[in-house]
Structure 1
Amino acid sequence: MSGPGEHNLAVLAERSFERLGDYESLFFEGTWLTSAEIHERSARAAGGLRAHGVRPGDRVVVMTMNTPEVFIAYRAIWRAGAVVTPVIFLQSEPELRHILTDSGATAAIISPELAGLFEAAADGLRIATFVIGGNYAELEAGRPAEIEPRTDDDLAALLYTGGTTGRAKGVMLSHRGLWENGRGLDLAARTTPATRTLLPLPLSHAYGLIVVIAGLHSDRRRVSVLQRWFDPTGWLELVAEHRLESSSLVPAMLQLLLGQPLGDYDLSSLVSFGSGGATLPPAIRVAAEKAFGVTVLQGYGLTESSAVVSAERMPDHRAGSVGKPLAHAEVAIRDLEGNPVPAGEDGEICVRGPGVMLGYWNDPELTARTVRDGWLHTGDIGHLDEDGYLYVVDRLKDLIIRGGFNVFPRDVEDVLLEHPAVQLAACVGKPDAESGEEVVAVVQLAPGHRVSGAELVEFARARMARYKYPREVTVLDAVPLTSVGKINRRAVRDLVGRDR
């Protein structure tokens, strides 16, 4: 048997520890963990997984809030040659049951708060279950395991996505794809001086997972402070207490932070934010950079691309752009017939490179429709400028066709967010007998502000083409979000009387 492959993620973790040595690297709820402790515990947990029957290629579910055990579990699973199968903790029992049965998972590591849900969803399935704070300790009680050899194309992670638009589908990501994407993101991060970062993202999401892998490529000792889940007040307190310099966020998190009393906290240590997971409205970017005194660096990607396709770098920050494609990724913009379009012209963003998924688990037909001739058809609309910077306009499936005219929801949302009273906005199409689809929106107001839906309609009408502005705006207590902070358009459509 040959040795571990060059892109084996367990090898990456091993070399990271050898390169950077032992230091206090992770803070969580009052406790520091050293890199040596994380390394040793993951090696023991790998041995524990093997002792409990986990074999190379087996899927191991990790369903927890953000805790240090996530860092340890990912390394341990890869070391054992198994497949990390992260599951967002905000699942219904039927959704979780589907993931468990579809993946054929043989083991699971879960938070104690989720034990009841997991037990109900896993009823009748043969899954070795380890509860953090309980029998999980058995995994770390064994002898450290050596690294199981894996090839570049071996499955490293199986991530389920699409739960807000239909039954979740498993996305197969390879060791090399995640390795290359992590390296590309780390190289972009090296253009900032920040080494002390706050992690509020769910580590069970593709964005959170790739941030962890990027850290394994780092040539500097990076300190991470982990939030169990995102809480704006807690986020601000941790930045002030630990003099943190950066944080990876999704736009909705930024919008919620801007509604806090920022002057009550010392945030002078902040240098930069990374923004991904959804398009960032220009008004929010400008407001965040002014309020926090940072540079907001955007990125773009999707689960099917191993999370990252492009990212901004500090020296070539360009307003409105999500940066240039990372070194491992090739991007082309194509029309609906699949033909390349000129620079500056919108079309579907297509991606090629090692980060493209191996395919959808148990769904070769959907795989063939999504990856054609090696190109991942993302379903996102955007363009490249003449210098190769990528701009994302919207999701193709979210496009509203009103009276024959194309309306991108993001254009409407960006205008509504220019109103000082609006904190979050979501725009969708609603069936209409005359226009085919009518443009409607829901908003969440910033604390202490009041404005009516009718006033917001007039605000948008004064700033947009006649066919674009929303005919209805509904003020909600909270705009529906997914578990990772994206706008939940399916829920919004339900609210306005449409489900598609």
Structure 2
Amino acid sequence: MGNQPWLNLYPDTIPTHIDLEHKPVHAYLTEAAERYPDKKAVHFMGKEFTYKEMHESSLKMAKYLQDIGIEKGDRVAIMLPNTPASVIAYYGILYAGAVVVQTNPLYTEREIEYQMKDSGAKAIVTLDILFPRVSAVFNSTDLKHMIISGIKDFLPFPKNLLYPFIQKKQYGMTVKVEHSGSNHLLPEILKISTPDPVEHVLDFEEDIAILQYTGGTTGHPKGVMLTHKNLIANASMCDAWLYKNKKGEETILGILPFFHVYGMTTVMILSVMQGYKMILLPKFDVDTVLKTIHKQRPTIFPGAPTIYIGILNHPELSKYDLTSVQSCISGSAPLPVEVQEKFESLTGGKLVEGYGLTESSPVTHSNFIWDQKRIKGSVGVPWPDTDSKIISMETGKPLPAGEIGEIIVKGPQVMKGYWNQPEETASILRDGWLYTGDLGYMDEEGFFYIVDRKKDMIIAGGFNIYPREIEEVMYEHPAIQEVVTVGVPDAYRGETVKIFVVLKQGQQATEKELDEFARQHLASYKVPRIYEFRQELPKTAVGKILRRKLVEEEKEKQSNQKSG
């Protein structure tokens, strides 16, 4: 694999190479049900389900899909929050030999229609409250069947009876769907008495397990083809990294949505592979998260910076005991050093930053969690079987330590390509290397640092300015809870720096104060010229701040000013 100085840092407890078992993703649920039939696999809002129950339910789903005409290689979408239904649907689709299409429940009708048409999905598993939205585009797609689940289907008594009233209060409506025609109710499907789906022979290396659509920050979203090998490789790497965890004994907090590749791999697939218990939360609510950790005592807590920030800024944080948390890998966005230090002090556990992309299943790098050297502000070193280097954006040749260039990665977790987009695939996958579009550098020891997205870099007066550096500095200001930096057009400098700020509850800060703070810690050309205070920032479902949305707002604002 060439020059890999980071391998010298690996402890004996982490292998540099993992021999993968050539088994499809769902084979691990079969094994878990055989090894831990009565062990709790899922905890959901007070009700628990064993591995045997989850396995049997997934087989029933698979059998039903096959009975309504789903064949090997067909695409079936899942548009659900984290519920037992999302796990049953995921493994049921795979047992049926089909391909999962992960769909965000927050999607609008236009976004649903685009993704269903692009993937050619024949069926979709969704929530009763989302039924009207999917129904509106159903006939303009290839969809033939809709499988509907409700939150109440998996709640304990009496919550299951009360939930429809809560739903009506929250959403202003309740939805009733009949189990007939193209509409199918999950509770009816799970009444099947003989779950014996036809087994398909799958090619571990070539057959696609899921189509995971990217966020679409450049043009239309693209379907990332992830094979069974891609997903098993990345979950196996994650298990190797978390070497102190004990098979069959850990409890993992499932806040990260499974329709996002990070939650799917590091929570759902890893848990099933290792026989862990998953605590599923359908949405991120700080009060619920704190109560859940206090009561259910999870040991593993994958998350995103906004989740940890939300916890640290809760006014009644001291009421809750979070010391069960032993290991957390943060992804999806840069982890401020201040947040890392405070969270570790609070829990006594370890919180480290990792790095990855949808196109790599997703994790490629992470800091060591225990015992070994780790560097705050770094995304760590490549995972087992993963190669990475920094290349010049001008020449494409590898750069020496310390020089900024584009990060490229190679490994068994790297996607097969984009669905039906050979040109896009060829532009990002070259000779097995994934060109990430992220700018960074590697130090002499092999630790990697993300400077910014290539397309997010601000060029002001000829200077290259990296938003992440500004954000790291501003996060140190005691009044700031969240901050994001964008470049806005400037007649003199070409671009200038603007930051959007969310202040902590009960805190105050003026533009003048923040400007003085920035000037103490940043070179003058990096200091923000424009400040905008907001109550909240736009985010993805996984908590990643949507920088591009703010950029688009600025462009629209400038355009309106010119036309006005």
Q: Same fold (TM over 0.5)?
A: yes
Matched with 1:202 is 257
Corresponding residue pairs, total = 494
Residue 390 of structure 2 contacts residue 404 of structure 2 at CA under 8 Å; is this kept in 1? yes
Matched with 1:114 is 130
Q: Where in structure 2 are the equivalents of 1:167-316 lying within 5 Å?
A: 167-192=220-245, 195-211=250-266, 212-218=268-274, 221-260=275-314, 261-313=316-368, 314-316=370-372
Residue 259 of structure 1 contacts residue 446 of structure 1 at CA under 8 Å; is this kept in 2? yes
Residue 454 of structure 1, CA deviation:
2.8
Matched with 2:11 is none
SS at match of 1:315: coil
Matched with 1:381 is 439
Change (3 A) 1:11 1:101: same
Change (3 A) 1:13 1:323: farther
Residue 461 of structure 1, CA deviation:
1.4
Q: 1:166 aligns with which of 201, 219, 226?
A: 219
Residue 155 of structure 1 contacts residue 173 of structure 1 at CA under 8 Å; is this kept in 2? yes
Residue 53 of structure 1, CA deviation:
0.7
1:322 aligns with 2:338: no
Residue 431 of structure 1, CA deviation:
0.4
The gaps in structure 2 that reach 5 residues or longer are: 1-20, 151-176, 178-184, 559-564
Write the distance in 2 (CA, Å) between the matches of 1:423 and 1:192. Answer: 32
Question: Per-residue CA shift, 1:190-223, capped at 9, x if unaligned?
Answer: 33578122111111001011121122332xx422
Residue 25 of structure 1, CA deviation:
2.2
Residue 32 of structure 2 contacts residue 51 of structure 2 at CA under 8 Å; is this kept in 1? no
Write the distance in 2 (CA, Å) between the matches of 1:69 and 1:349. Answer: 37
Q: Which residue identity is paired with 2:300? A: S
Q: 1:366 aligns with which of 424, 449, 457?
A: 424
Residue 310 of structure 1, CA deviation:
1.9
Matched with 1:461 is 519
Write the distance in 2 (CA, Å) between the matches of 1:131 and 1:116. Answer: 11
1:16 aligns with 2:32: yes
Matched with 1:493 is 551
Q: 2:536 aligns with which of 478, 481, 487?
A: 478
Q: Which residue identity is paired with 1:288? A: F
1:53 aligns with 2:76: no
Write the distance in 2 (CA, Å) between the matches of 1:324 and 1:14. Answer: 33
Task: Give the TM-score of the pair, scaled to structure 1.
Answer: 0.95
Change (3 A) 1:31 1:499: farther
Change (3 A) 1:438 1:85: same
Residue 113 of structure 2 contacts residue 140 of structure 2 at CA under 8 Å; is this kept in 1? no
Residue 61 of structure 1 contacts residue 84 of structure 1 at CA under 8 Å; is this kept in 2? yes
Write the distance in 1 (CA, Å) between the matches of 2:111 and 2:288. Answer: 30
Write the distance in 1 (CA, Å) between the matches of 2:65 and 2:188. Answer: 9
Q: Which residue identity is paired with 1:139? A: I
Q: 2:389 aligns with which of 326, 332, 347?
A: 332
Residue 252 of structure 1, CA deviation:
1.1
Q: 2:187 aligns with which of 128, 132, 137?
A: 137
Query: CA RMSD, aligned part only?
Result: 1.8
Residue 208 of structure 2 contacts residue 227 of structure 2 at CA under 8 Å; is this kept in 1? yes
Residue 276 of structure 1 contacts residue 299 of structure 1 at CA under 8 Å; is this kept in 2? yes
Change (3 A) 1:375 1:469: same
1:75 aligns with 2:91: yes
Question: Per-residue CA shift, 1:341-367, capped at 9, x if unaligned?
Answer: 112322211111221111111211111
- Answer with 1 or 2: which has the greater Rg: 2
Write the distance in 2 (CA, Å) between the matches of 1:443 and 1:495. Answer: 15
Write the distance in 1 (CA, Å) between the matches of 2:201 and 2:446. Answer: 38
Residue 391 of structure 1, CA deviation:
2.2
Residue 60 of structure 1 contacts residue 83 of structure 1 at CA under 8 Å; is this kept in 2? yes
Matched with 1:91 is 107
Matched with 2:52 is 36
Residue 48 of structure 1 contacts residue 141 of structure 1 at CA under 8 Å; is this kept in 2? no
Residue 191 of structure 1 contacts residue 315 of structure 1 at CA under 8 Å; is this kept in 2? no
The gaps in structure 1 that reach 5 residues or longer are: none
Change (3 A) 1:496 1:258: farther
Residue 495 of structure 1, CA deviation:
3.9
